[in-house]
Amino acid sequence: MHLINADLHSHSDISDGTLSPEALAERAHAQGVELWSLTDHDEVGGQQRARDAALALGMDYLTGTEISVSFAGETVHIVGLGFDADDAALQAGLAATRSGRRERARQMAAGLARAGIEGAFEGALRYVGNADLISRTHFARFLVDSGVCPDTHTVFRRYLTTGNPGYVPHQWARLRDAVRWVVGAGGVAVIAHPGRYRFTATEEYALITEFLAHGGLGMEVITGSHSAAEQIRYAETALEFGLLSSRGSDFHSPHESRTELGALPDLPGRLAPVWGALQHRIQRSRSGTARASDRAVRPRKPEMA
Ligand code: AMP
Ligand code: MN
Ligand code: MN
Ligand code: MN
């Protein structure tokens, strides 16, 4: 069976990516992506542009967003797919989630100033495509371009993570709310890059079971953030909990992203792709050849050893 090339996690300059939704659509199409989703952080402002660009290229489209959530002292990301982007409760929830970002950025800049780095708020703002969505990534770009650090990874390690001068703890959305906004708007909620969270086994179990209890259905198994071992581990987790599986590069920029759009391993064949459950939500181009018809089934029970 032909497994389609689905990339259901990427960022434009409406959040912390560097390409416009149109340029991202073109790049995804050129890389062979057949079903694409733009998943900007806490924002759906780019959805119409992304959809129009995708369909004009003959590429199928699912609406998307990546919601910042605070859970067990950690920031967790929930990707929403295939929702109605005009849904009022979803839009209000995302606006509330975004609303603290500017004040947080001022506090980050104050922390950096205490460490001897002046002007970081104005500096980061120069990289921002959407004034509502100033993120740590924009600070990282400023600190690299101004010569403070050699690359964004080093900026995060030295300045922008817990215990470092530019880190400011922040209260994001509640897990329950994020899942409800997506599900209420007709979409499917997906736990993004589960391998990235610094959770104990107990905390991870709590995350998954609460997520399921609120109506969450999916988990990213194949993502630019996972090592090969994590892909195997979370394939097992998806089977164990009966979760639908997703695949996405988390592409941000041609120069920064480790993983190119669409350039990921296929989902392991025994998993149920999340797009199987979203057939009715896929926006299809009339000229498009891609038909995302892969198995709309639930995962099988785990096999006994
Ligand atoms: P924020 O939502 O403002 O906290 O920013 C989070 C974003 O920072 C993520 O979506 C990533 O794009 C980026 N990020 C987080 N950790 C790292 C890292 N270690 N290296 C590079 N980028 C990172
Ligand atoms: Mn990001
Ligand atoms: Mn993320
Ligand atoms: Mn992301």
- 280: tokens are 């009715």
C-beta separation of 141 from 127 below 8 A: yes
In a domain, residue 262? The reply is yes
CATH of the domain at 77: 3.20.20.140
Q: What is the pLDDT of residue 82?
A: 98
Task: Let me know if residue 145 belongs to a domain.
Answer: yes
Kindly provide the b/e burial profile for residues 182-203, where b requires at least 16 CB atoms within 10 angstroms of the residue's own CB.
bbbbebbbbbbbbbbbebeeee
Looking at the fold, whether 106 and 253 belong to one and the same domain comes out as: no
Q: How far apart are alpha carbons 23 and 31 in whole angstroms?
A: 12
Task: Give the count of domains, the chain.
Answer: 2
Q: How far is the CA of 263 from the centre of ligand 2 (A)?
A: 18
Q: Are residues 59 and 190 in the same domain?
A: yes
Tell me if 23 is assigned to some domain. yes
Q: What parts of the chain have a pLDDT lower than 70? A: 1-2, 286-305
154 and 22 assigned to the same domain: no
Residues 224 and 78 in one domain: yes
pLDDT in tens, 10-59: 999 999 999 999 999 999 999 999 999 999 999 999 999 999 999 999 99
Does 177 share its domain with 250?
Answer: yes
Residue 53 falls inside a structural domain:
yes
Which residues, judged by CB distance below 6 Å to any ligand atom, belong to the binding site of ligand 1? 16, 41, 68, 135-137, 152-153, 156, 252
Is the domain of 93 the same as that of 127?
A: no
Give the pLDDT score at 258: 87
Flag whether 298 is in a domain: no
Instruction: Give the per-residue pLDDT at 2.
Output: 60
Which residues sit with Cβ closer than 5 angstroms to ligand 4, an ion? 66, 250
Of 130, 160, 190, which residue sits at a domain end? 160
Query: Are residues 193 and 45 part of one domain?
Result: yes
Assess if residue 165 is contained within a domain. no
Atom 21 of ligand 1: nearest residue by CA position: 153
| Residue 54 and residue 139 share a domain | no
The alpha-helical segments, DSSP class H, found in 131-287 are: 136-145, 152-155, 175-184, 201-213, 228-241
Assess if residue 32 is contained within a domain: yes
Residues 221 and 134 in one domain: no
Domain containing residue 147: CATH number: 1.10.150.650
SS3 category, 66: strand
The rounded distance, in Å, linking the Cα atoms of 69 and 92 is 15
The reply to whether 126 and 197 lie within a common domain is no
57-74 per-residue burial string, b: 16 or more CB within 10 A, e: under 16: bebbbbbbbbbbbbbbee
My answer on whether 53 and 196 are in the same domain is yes
Q: Quote the mean pLDDT of the chain.
A: 94
* Tokens read off for 145: 């371009």
Interval between CA 297 and ligand 4 midpoint (Å): 26
Does residue 290 form part of some domain?
Answer: no
Question: Ligand 4 centroid to 303 CA: how many Å?
Answer: 32
Atom of ligand 1 nearest to the CA of 104: 3
Compute the distance between CA of residue 285 and CA of residue 267 in angstroms, rounded to an integer: 24
Residues 182 and 147 in one domain: no
Range of the domain at 140: 101-160
